[in-house]
Structure 1
């Protein structure tokens, strides 16, 4: 997706995201934050959106969130203030293709329902690996394309509407598995239909 399409799409989604797509994706959000909590330390959430996951992090975890959409971040900041989420260190507008953090800054990098939205997913994966500490974890939750069946057919039908929907319905998993220093440790379907998948990767020590 092009950056201008992302901005336009998420400006439309921002006011209703929590009550629509946000509810559908809650299972993945709870699972990823549970894993991040067991690791502890510093967490970077790439594509923090309206901040739906922020209350699920333990108070002992230090969370930084970034998002390309300022409309989403406005709602995330309001959520942090309203719910007094002191473990959230900062929320910043940023392009995930060029993360403004030093190398090896975070123990865990989390990206939920993001990687099929960004214009250059391979570059985003490389950036997330760069800012992750050696031995740290990359946690992804996303919908990935199926190879066969009626759901695969449906994904292909919706593919031309990616810019309008704000995500790619037929995004292939192999596009996130090419970073050399990342080893896939876990590949887990999160729902009975396999609509969303949890991937856990470890950066080489």
Structure 2
């Protein structure tokens, strides 16, 4: 999926995202942020989208959210203003393949439902690892392809339509596990129906 396809897809999705895919993934998103809240520090949320996660962060957390889509960010900014979160949330337009932050800037980096959307996810993971502090956490929530069963067949059929759907239905988990400085410490299924997977990776050092 190229960056222009991503831009066009999410321009289409932005008006209805919260009531469609966003609604389906809300429970997993809430559980993921609750996990992030268990530690203090500065959080980077890569692919913040319309900001559905932002109201779940506990007071006192400092959160920077980035997204490539201006349409998504506009909705996120409106949400931040309506919920009175301006003191804790900073939102910036950015390409996740080239994060405009110094090395080791964040205690936690979150990527929820974004890695199967972006071009060059391996490059995005490299940038995520770079800006995460040694000893810090990388928290990922994403759909990964199945190897058997009826859903696996459906994923294979949907795969050629990635540019239209806005995500890769056959996205392999190995594509986010190749960064040598990140080690998997936790992996578990998330609702709905275990379709999503929660991963927590620790950056070595520190």
Interval containing the TM-score (normalised by the shorter chain): over 0.9
Structure 1 residue 28: deviation in Å? 1.7
CA contact (8 A) 2:24 2:192 kept: no
Written as runs of structure 1 = structure 2, the 5 A alignment for 1:82-161 is 82-161=82-161
CA contact (8 A) 2:47 2:67 kept: yes
Q: What is the CA–CA distance in structure 1 between the aligned matches of 2:182 and 2:113, rounded to whole Å?
A: 19
Q: What is the CA–CA distance in structure 2 between the aligned matches of 1:161 and 1:186, rounded to whole Å?
A: 31
Between 1:72-81 and 1:25-34, the stretch displaced more is 25-34
Q: What is the CA–CA distance in structure 2 between the aligned matches of 1:100 and 1:20, rounded to whole Å?
A: 31
SS in 2 for 1:189: strand
CA RMSD of aligned residues (A): 0.9
Change over 3 Å in CA distance of 1:192–1:16 after alignment to 2: closer
TM-score (norm 2): 0.97
Segments of structure 2 that go 5 or more residues without pairing to the other structure are: none
Written as runs of structure 1 = structure 2, the 5 A alignment for 1:1-205 is 1-191=1-191, 193-205=193-205
Segments of structure 1 that go 5 or more residues without pairing to the other structure are: none
Q: What is the CA–CA distance in structure 2 between the aligned matches of 1:97 and 1:3, rounded to whole Å?
A: 10
Structure 1 residue 145: deviation in Å? 0.2
Q: How many residues align?
A: 205
Structure 1 residue 180: deviation in Å? 0.5
TM-score (norm 1): 0.98
SS in 2 for 1:38: coil
SS in 2 for 1:199: strand
Structure 1 residue 133: deviation in Å? 0.5
Deviations for 1:105-126, whole angstroms, at most 9, x for unmatched residues?
0000000000001110000001
